[in-house]
Amino acid sequence: MIAFNKPMFFVFCMITSVALVTLPVLPQARSASSKSAAAGDGQKPNSAAHPSAHSSAQSDKLSPGVHFLSYAQASAVIQSFADELPAELKGRSAAELEKFWPQYVREHDGETRGRLEQGEEDSLNNLVLFGTSFTSQPRLSAEFIEQQEKAQGSRGQGEKETGAAAGVPQENSDAVVRVFVGRMNDFIRALKAPGKNERLLYMRHFLERRGYLAAGPQQQQLRQYLLANFQRTRQEFDKYQQVLAAARKSGDPRNEFAARSTLFQTRGVSLDTSLMPNFALEQALGQLLEKGLLAKASVRKVAIIGPGLDFVDKQEGYDFYPQQTIQPFLVMDSLFRLGLAQPSDLRMTTLDISARVNDHIAQARARARNQQSYVMQLPLESPLPNNARWSPAALAYWKAAGMAIGNSVAPLAPPREAGPLQLRAVKIAPQNVLRITPVDLDVVYQNLELAPGQRFDLVIATNMFTYYGQFEQALAMANLENMIRPGGFLLTNNGLPENVPVALQQAGFSTTPYSDRPSDGDHIIWYRRAASDKQ
Ligand SMILES: C[S@@+](CC[C@H](N)C(=O)[O-])C[C@H]1O[C@@H](n2cnc3c(N)ncnc32)[C@H](O)[C@@H]1O
C-alpha cells in the first residue's frame, strides 16, 4: 500500500538532492562502529533475479588492459580485514583463500553489475516523480509538497493513502496524491507513443524486458509495479534516515560521515549526477595547487571513476534536454582554468561499470571525430525555495563552468513545470571530447594495468564509493594504488577506511558549502599515493 507522509516524503526528496555530508566533519575512522553504522540489513540486491545481471562468464570479456584484482594484490587487504571478512571468505586458510579468490572476484563483479538494474528502477521512479517531458503535472518536489500541505492546512492524519492503492476516489484524496496518480497515468500513456523521447524509449524497453508492456491485464500490473517501486524507494530512504540519525546521535561527526560514506552499500547502483560536486572538486584542486601539492601543468593523465549520466535526478537533473555526462568535462574545465593541466597533453579515462555511461561517451567521441561538438546544459535551480541562497562562490562557479573547454551557446528552453531555473549551455570543442576514453572497469574488483609512466596523476570518484562497504572500498584502494603514480592524488567525497595496507594515504581535505541550506555542501578527501613506488 502506498502512503504519503509529508515529513518522510520531504526527507526523501532532500536526502537525494542535497550533498551527502553534514558540515563540518572529519574523514572517517575505520572501526566496528562505522561498519555497523552502514545502511541496510546486509542483504545484497538479488542480482540473479534481474535479466541484465552479468554472469562471471560475461565479466571475463574484459577491455584491453583490464584485469581482475589478483589474490597477490588483494592479500594484504584481506589479512587486515581478517575479523570483518564477508562470510564467504571467513574461516578459510590462506591456501584456500588463494584458490577461491578468482571465483570470488568474478562472482562479486557480476553481482555489482547486476545492481545497475535496480538503479534503473530508481531512475524510473525519478522520471515518474520529476519528469516534465511527458506530463504537464507539477514535479513532485519537496517544495511542491510543502506548498500543498500549507495550502490545505495540516489534516493531522500523518499518512494519506493514494487513490489508486487504497481505492479512495481521486477527487477525495489530496493534491499531492492526485498529482502522483496523474503523473503515473501520463507516463503510462506516453510509453505507448514515446516518439523520440530517449528517456521514455529507454524505460519502455526496460519495462518490456520485464513483461509489463504486453497488452491486457499487464496494464494494471504496470501500475502496481510503479506504485511498489515508489514504495520501495521511499522505504529505502526512510531506512537511510534512520541510519544517519543513529550515527548523529553518537555526537561524533566522523560517525555520520562514515555512515554516509557507505550509506548505499546495499542499494541499486544509480547513474545520477549533478553540477555542484564538480565545484567542490575545483576548490579542492585549487587548494592542492596553493599548497604546492600539485604543480602547474603537472596533471596529464586523469581518471574519472563513475562519471554518471544525467537522466532525471530529483531536483537537480531534468528531462528537457538530451541525456548528458558532465563530470569529465567539468573536471577538465577546472584543470585548464587553474593551469594544472595543459590542453597540449591532457588525457582523460573514464572508468565505469555502466554500459549506458560507457556507450554515451563512446558515441560522443564518434561524433567528435566528425567534428561535432558536445553541448552540455547547465540548469541551476534559482531562486532556491524557502529564500535559501547559493553561496556567491557556487554561483560564480556555475557562471564560469565550461568556459575553459568551450563556448556559451543558447540553452534549451525548459517547460514551465521544470520550475524556476537559470540556464546556461556550453558547446564543447571536439578536440576536448576526444581527450576522453571510456573503459569498462569495476574499480572494486578490477584494475587497469599501466606501465609506471602511464599511471594517473589524478583520479576522481564522487558519489561512487558510497555504494560499497569498507572491505570493498579497501579492495578498490588496492586496485587504485597500482593505477596512480607515486605522489598522485585520488579525490573523493566519501571517506575510505583507515589503516588499509595500501600506499594511498589521506593528505588532507577541503570543505565546500554550496548554499545556506543546512548540510548543503561536500567534503573532498585528498588521498595521496606514497611518493616512493614500492614496485
Ligand atoms: C551516482 S553516480 C555518480 C556520478 C558522478 N560521479 C557524480 O558525482 O555526479 C555513480 C557512478 O559510479 C559508477 N559506478 C558504481 N560502482 C562502480 C564501480 N565499482 N566501478 C566503476 N564505476 C562504478 C556508476 O555506474 C555511476 O556512473
Secondary structure in 3-state letters for 406-463: EEEECCCCCCHHHCCEECCEEEECHHHHCCEEEEECCCCCEEECCCHHHCEEEEEECC
Give the residue whose CA is nearest to atom 27 of ligand 1.
308
Q: Is the CB of 443 under 6 A from ligand 1?
A: yes
* Residue 274 Cα: closest atom of ligand 1: 9
Predicted local distance difference test score (pLDDT) of residue 216: 60
Q: Which residues contact 313 (CB under 8 A, 6 or more apart)?
A: 16, 126, 130, 272, 273, 274
Inter-axis angle of helices 142-152 and 175-192, nearest 10: 140
CA dihedral sign, ordered 443, 116, 273, 430: positive
pLDDT above 50 (res 469):
yes
**Burial of 28 per CB tally in 10 Å (0-12, 13-18, 19+):** buried
Q: What tens digit of pLDDT does each residue of 497-515 get?
A: 999 999 999 999 999 999 9
Q: What tens digit of pLDDT does each residue of 196-241 get?
A: 999 999 999 999 999 888 766 567 889 999 999 988 988 888 899 8
Q: Which three cell numbers, joined as nine digits, stand for 152?
A: 490545505
Q: Is the CB of 274 under 6 A from ligand 1?
A: yes
Q: Which residues contact 270 (CB under 8 A, 6 or more apart)?
A: 119, 122, 123
**Type of residue at 267:** R
Q: Are 69 and 478 in contact (CB under 8 A)?
A: yes
**Type of residue at 236:** E
Give the residue whose CA is nearest to atom 18 of ligand 1.
442
CB neighbourhood size of 285 (10 A): 27
Q: Are 124 and 272 in contact (CB under 8 A)?
A: no
Predicted local distance difference test score (pLDDT) of residue 241: 87
Per-residue pLDDT averaged across 12-34, rounded?
37
CA of 354 to the centre of ligand 1 (A): 8
Q: Is the CB of 278 under 6 A from ligand 1?
A: no
Predicted local distance difference test score (pLDDT) of residue 26: 44
Share of the chain above pLDDT 90, in %: 69
| DSSP strand pairing (159-161 vs 3-5) | antiparallel
Q: What tens digit of pLDDT does each residue of 33-66 get?
A: 333 333 333 333 333 333 333 433 344 579 899 9
CB neighbourhood size of 49 (10 A): 10
Helices (H), 213-290: 218-249, 253-261, 276-290
* Residue 273 Cα: closest atom of ligand 1: 9
Q: Is the CB of 464 under 6 A from ligand 1?
A: yes
Per-residue pLDDT averaged across 348-360, rounded?
98
Domain ranges of the chain: 123-260, 276-370+434-529
- 381 bridge partner residues: 421
Per-residue pLDDT averaged across 297-311, rounded?
97
CA of 125 to the centre of ligand 1 (A): 19
CA of 183 to the centre of ligand 1 (A): 28
Tell me which of 44, 276, 352, 436 to substitute to probe ligand 1's pocket, judged by most ligand atoms within 8 Å of the beta carbon.
352
Predicted local distance difference test score (pLDDT) of residue 60: 59
- φ, ψ for residue 144 (rounded to 5)? -60, -45
Instruction: Tell which wins on pLDDT, 301 or 9.
Output: 301
CA of 530 to the centre of ligand 1 (A): 25
Distances (CA, A) of 306 to 203, 351, 461: 22, 6, 7
Give the residue whose CA is nearest to atom 2 of ligand 1.
271
pLDDT above 60 (res 422):
yes
CA of 319 to the centre of ligand 1 (A): 20
Radius of gyration of the chain (CA): 23
Predicted local distance difference test score (pLDDT) of residue 46: 34
Q: Is the CB of 118 under 6 A from ligand 1?
A: no
Q: Is the CB of 438 under 6 A from ligand 1?
A: no
**Type of residue at 242:** Q
- Mean of all residue pLDDT scores within the chain: 85
Q: Is the CB of 459 under 6 A from ligand 1?
A: no
* Residue 326 Cα: closest atom of ligand 1: 9
Q: What tens digit of pLDDT does each residue of 243-298 get?
A: 999 998 888 888 888 899 999 999 999 999 999 999 999 999 999 999 999 999 99
Tell me which of 116, 269, 441 to substitute to probe ligand 1's pocket, judged by most ligand atoms within 8 Å of the beta carbon.
269
pLDDT above 50 (res 346):
yes
Q: Is the CB of 352 under 6 A from ligand 1?
A: yes
Q: Is the CB of 440 under 6 A from ligand 1?
A: no
Q: Which three cell numbers, joined as nine digits, stand for 34?
A: 562505522
Give the residue whose CA is nearest to atom 11 of ligand 1.
306
Residue in 162, 126, 157, 145 with CA at minimum distance from that of residue 237: 126
Q: Is the CB of 444 under 6 A from ligand 1?
A: yes
CA of 147 to the centre of ligand 1 (A): 34
**Type of residue at 443:** V
pLDDT above 60 (res 425):
yes
Instruction: Find the range with the poorest average confidence among 175-179, 238-242, 351-355, 377-381.
Output: 175-179
Q: What tens digit of pLDDT does each residue of 132-142 get?
A: 999 999 888 87
pLDDT above 50 (res 396):
yes
Predicted local distance difference test score (pLDDT) of residue 153: 63
CB neighbourhood size of 220 (10 A): 10
Predicted local distance difference test score (pLDDT) of residue 314: 63
Q: Is the CB of 493 under 6 A from ligand 1?
A: no
Give the residue whose CA is nearest to atom 7 of ligand 1.
273
**Has domain 276-370+434-529 been given CATH number 3.40.50.150?**
yes
Q: What tens digit of pLDDT does each residue of 71-90 get?
A: 999 999 999 999 999 999 99
Report how far residue 134's alpha carbon sits from residue 142's, in angstroms, rounded to the nearest whole number: 20
CA of 464 to the centre of ligand 1 (A): 5
Give the residue whose CA is nearest to atom 22 of ligand 1.
352
pLDDT above 70 (res 172):
no
- 5 bridge partner residues: 159
